[in-house]
Structure 1
Amino acid sequence: MTPRPSTALRRLGQWLMPLLALGGAMPLAAQTWPSRPVTLVVGTPAGGAVDVYARTLGDQLARQTGGTFVVENRAGANGNLSAEQVRKAAPDGHTLWISTQAMFTINPSAYPSLPWKPSDFKPIAKGVESPLVLVVHPSVPVDRLADLGPWLKAHADKAAYASFSPGTPSHFLGFQFSERLKVPMVHIPYKGSAPQITDLLGGQVPLGFTQLQSALPHVQSGKLKALAVTSAQRSRFLPQVPTLAELGHGDLNTTVWFGLMAPAGTPPAVTDAIMAAAVKAQADPGYKGKLEAQGFDVPTESGAAFEKTIAAETARWAQVVKATGFKAND
């Protein structure tokens, strides 16, 4: 006996309902992100430049999504501890990594036995970007880069430079500059830009390549002197300070960035939702204004374009690491 139409439709509906629910699961996951607190894991101590960016981003994403965003500082091993924490987390968009150029593009060459690999992560967006700035303590009686080499040669006992961490552009630029000036300088590494700046301000170390946003207020107040920036063009934050390229060292140009990464296994619909939120944040005038006021530039680079930048920079720094013979401790 043939079922009546109403019965047949009811059975068809019972059969289709699970499929419709399954088909809509991923978009729903994206639409409801975040469904619980999101942890932004930072591989540097609190108070430094990376931490400032992470907290500003977390506040903006909380306003946009209505979710809760918590910054967790997991300093150590130049960001590798933070990378491991995120790599091992559930790939559901609720544990994200605030990485840096050094962590993501230099560590793979600098650490002989790195416990993670770049393919463990999905780059979401380049959040902020800025040049480094070469600063000296006011007790160093030079105002031009050309005068720094002669002063260092005459004061060999004071020839040292601070970096915000070993195996970073701050370290390698100091190393390359020491070679260029033909002045052996002792490398004094720190665990983040905050302690680096503290000792530069105190005169414990006479000079160093620092994060621009960390050094900016101290340069403006006269507590540090800026001799050069590492960007291709002068920084709008320090327009009176020449670039390394202007001074004949264009091959040392570099900018550093902080960016947002998700575990590689995160579903595409979720990473798309995170990327959309990050891109929206970076287009917000109020958010951009807060970061720019601290010396950051806010780029509009995400997804495939960000991945292309990462690939090019990884190749560049691999050559530098090989040339210096640097090997980081695990």
Structure 2
Amino acid sequence: MTAYPKTSALMQRGTDFLGSEFAVLCGAMSWVSERNLVSAISNAGGFGVIACGAMTPDLLDTEIAETKKLTSRPFGVNLITMHPALFDLIDVCARHGVTHVVLAGGIPPKGSVEAIRAFGAKVIVFAPTLALAKKLLRQDRGAGGDALVIEGMEAGGHIGPVSTSVLAQEFLPVLAEDHLVFVAGGIGRGEAIAGYLEMGAVGVQLGTRFACATESIAHENFKKAFFRASARDAATSVQVDPRLPVIPVRALKNKGTEEFTAKQIEVAKLLDSGTIEMTEAQLQIEQYWAGALRRAVIDGDIENGSIMAGQSVGMLKEEEPVADIMQQLMSQSEAALSRR
């Protein structure tokens, strides 16, 4: 018997896929989604996901090993598709027998899905449009994803241009019957989870809600910035040069936001002069974010660092243990479904 029968029934396909008690994925937040938070989420019944971000293969190897020491429950690894050592990182996941790999940040490079499938892991992909989602989920030749995350613009970090509610209405009626779809972006309470489950999602992904958990290693300054913020403080970055395709990032406004504008201009000039290729230009942008995020999360520099946060940030008021957050979400979802 489960304490949340209605919610658990709607999550059944998701929990079967993940191997967790609740179909609640933790969004991969660089520097935040590491061994402590990931293991706490898995131990609380959710599904923690290590944010590989800009890690080297050696660093990822250590992170997976250390996470395994803290939990015996399933967890996954999020890999950025443009990482120059992507296939080496996949090899690290294979050596550790990682059960689920999330490919984020773009279309998976040729052979990457097959390489993950080869050691028996499940592949979770992202898609900003329905047409791309259908393509990425095709199972011919073993190159399709096993599950999909649709993430709306309310989310923190790298985002697309469409809201979560619109994406859910567009994707779920078409895909939910035959595919496993998780919904993400701006989810801060269980009532929203209940709504997306009723629409056909098999689970949800939350990042911001867990970022300031007691188990999160984020600096005290970083957490306090979250607690002070309202939804409108989490703004998107501006693209200054259309020739440089930069995915918008949602973060709390500060000096670091202005510095990113200057960084784009610098990289665009290098691109124009032929000093670097487009792939290198995009990589430099990603490396900027990794460094800026570290300054805020680890060093506590909330003036110059990047405080990536989703619009649900206004719902966070204090540090709470992950287990309490998980129980709140499930209780709220169950209560909402029981009122139907």
Higher relative contact order (CA 8 A, sep 6+): 1
Is this a same-fold pair by TM over 0.5?
no
Q: Which has the larger radius of gyration?
A: 1
**TM norm structure 2:** 0.27
**TM norm structure 1:** 0.28
